[in-house]
């Protein structure tokens, strides 16, 4: 997978674990990809991709602040992505990244 990330890069990985890392965090944090969803917004011919969002579930012990994290998976080279926390429930914390 090279170049611009696409929805298809994540779609087949839903349900699988990724490793989150960031400078200043001294541990690798696992997050399970739970959503890879295309936007239903209309696109223009000059757009690089169809907009989409990905959401990860982290454990209750890992409340990460909004910011850039490196995520990696055995089928995906490490990528630096900007994540926003979007909620918490009994299953853990949820982090989302959007792509336009």
Q: Would the pLDDT of 46 be above 80?
A: no
Residues 28-33 have a mean pLDDT of 96
Residue 1's pLDDT band, with cuts at 50, 70 and 90, is: very low
Q: pLDDT tens for residues 47-69?
A: 778 899 999 999 999 999 999 99
Nearest Cα neighbor of 56 from 37, 78, 39 is: 37
20, pLDDT greater than 50: yes
CA distance 84 to 65: 7
């Amino acid at each position: 997978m090279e170049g611009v990330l696409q929805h298809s890069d994540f779609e087949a990985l839903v349900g699988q674990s990724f490793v989150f890392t960031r400078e200043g965090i001294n541990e690798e944090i696992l997050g399970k990809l739970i959503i890879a969803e295309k936007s239903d917004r209309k696109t223009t011919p000059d757009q690089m991709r169809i907009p989409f969002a990905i959401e990860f579930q982290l454990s209750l012990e890992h409340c990460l602040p909004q910011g850039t994290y490196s995520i990696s998976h055995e089928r995906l080279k490490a990528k630096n992505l900007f994540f926003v926390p979007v909620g918490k429930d009994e299953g853990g914390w949820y982090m989302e990244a959007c792509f336009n």
